[in-house]
Amino acid sequence: MWLLIETACFYLYVTSAILFVLWRQLISVCARSVEISDMYKSLTDFIVYSAHNLTWFAINFVCCTMPLVCLFLLVGPHNEIAGAT
């Protein structure tokens, strides 16, 4: 069971990183072109530039979605709770 929880945490972390990058890319596409760009961001990799924000987004995403995953994974309709028969 612990292996399932660890695997779900890993995949939720990867999903959160994908969502963060997609969200930031969509915002940059829809933003006005007259905004002043940060030169450091344009000179470095986006992931390196926003590593702090990505870390916090991933922590919050996993902490908010992992309880739901555990509820559906561990106490789903296919798993029978001991003593509830």
Report the domain count for the chain: 1
Q: What is the rounded CA–CA span in Å between residue 42 and residue 37?
A: 8
Phi, psi of 15 (to 5 degrees): -60, -40
Express each pLDDT in 24-76 by its tens digit: 888 777 766 555 666 666 666 777 777 788 888 888 999 999 988 888 876 66
Q: What is the rounded CA–CA span in Å between residue 35 and residue 15?
A: 29
Tokens of 30: 């829809």
Is residue 33 assigned to a domain? yes
Residue 8 CB: number of other CB atoms within 10 A? 17
In which domain, by residue range, is 57 found?
2-74
- Say what the pLDDT of residue 34 is: 55
Q: What is the rounded CA–CA span in Å between residue 81 and residue 65?
A: 22
Is residue 80 assigned to a domain? no
Is residue 67 assigned to a domain? yes
